[in-house]
Amino acid sequence: MHQDIDKILFSQEEIEAKTAELAVQLKTEYADKKPILLGLLKGSMMFMAELMKKLDIDLQVDFLDVSSYEGTVSTGDVRIVKDLGMSVRDRHVLIAEDIVDTGRTLEKVIELLRNRGAKTVEMVTLLDKPETRKAPIAAKYVGFMIPKLFVVGYGLDYNEKYRNLPYIGILKVSVYT
């Protein structure tokens, strides 16, 4: 365990098992829809890669890099850093996300995709933190519900660190205070 981690919340094995469960649901729902699996960078990378390995359906992959965080706080100002590389018009879009926190970023992304003519927009997230929600959104497919904790690893970061940890851990308060 990394020295800055207080406790491991979910092991790599637990994450992989939960991702397999989500993939079973998604294969049923999207088998004939040829969805675009849309990763929100950078946090979704590890989860999305694990999910893709388990989705043996016809799909396309794209990424959107959006940012609204400074340190541990969501500013509410959502910026598009890297836009989509393909059209979503008349397509089923499945957003892969690492964590649904305030929901502000996802609210803006969903609005953007709908304005661009997506046929449907749904979310699959590894983690959901409903206590911190500020926007009225909900992921249709959720791996783990978590309380109000600051977590890192498996793609999640604090100031661009800890993304490469193979588990999700609770960051020691002393690191970010």
pLDDT in tens, 11-43: 999 999 999 999 999 999 999 999 999 999 999
101 belongs to the catalytic site: yes
Mean pLDDT calculated for residue range 61-80: 74
**Which residues make beta-bridge pairs with 31?**
none
56, 101, 128, 157: the catalytic one is 101
Distance separating alpha carbons of residues 147 and 10, to the nearest angstrom = 13
69 band by pLDDT with thresholds 50, 70 and 90? low
Q: What is the pLDDT of residues 82-119, one digit of tens each?
A: 999 999 999 999 999 999 998 988 999 999 999 999 99
Q: What is the mean pLDDT of residues 147-171?
A: 96
CA angle 82, 35, 117 (to 5 degrees): 65
Query: What was the pLDDT predicted at 71?
Result: 54
For 2-45, give the DSSP string: -TTEEEEEE-HHHHHHHHHHHHHHHHHHHTTT--EEEEEETTTH
Report pTM: 0.91
pLDDT band of residue 76 (cuts 50, 70, 90) is low
Q: Position 137: which residue type?
A: I
Q: Is the pLDDT of residue 73 over 90?
A: no
d(CA 111, CA 124): 17
d(CA 101, CA 73): 10
Structural domains in the chain, CATH included, are 11-149 (3.40.50.2020)
Contact present, 32 and 158 (Cβ < 8 Å): no
* 77 has pLDDT over 80: no
DSSP 57: S
Does residue 170 register a pLDDT over 90?
yes
pLDDT score at 78: 74
